Amino acid sequence: MKTFVAYIEWDPETRLYVGIVPGVPGAHTQGATLDELQKNLKEVLELCLEENPELRVAPPHFVGLQQVEVGE
């Protein structure tokens, strides 16, 4: 079993949680609750791994997140 890290945002316009798994092409989805998002992320990851079997052997390695400030 492999563990992947998802980046999650709240979209106030759609009022949905949006999840993206960096380094996995096509691994993004949304859900009305965090539980629904978790379920949807698992499903989309399984599909992405079927299409990209090399990711099963060497999944992306999560390093971290950084905040970047820009002028207004």
Going by C-beta distance under 8 Å and a sequence separation of 6 or more, which residues neighbour residue 40? 19, 29, 30, 31
- State the Cα–Cα distance between residues 61 and 5, nearest whole angstrom: 9
Can you tell me which residue has the tokens 């949807």?
A: 40
How far is residue 4's CA from residue 52's CA, in Å, rounded to a whole number?
Answer: 14
Q: State the pTM of this model.
A: 0.81
Measured on CA atoms in the order 58, 23, 45, 51, is the torsion positive or negative? negative
The predicted-structure confidence for 8-67, as pLDDT tens digits, reads as follows 999 999 999 999 998 899 999 999 999 999 999 999 999 999 998 888 777 778 888 888
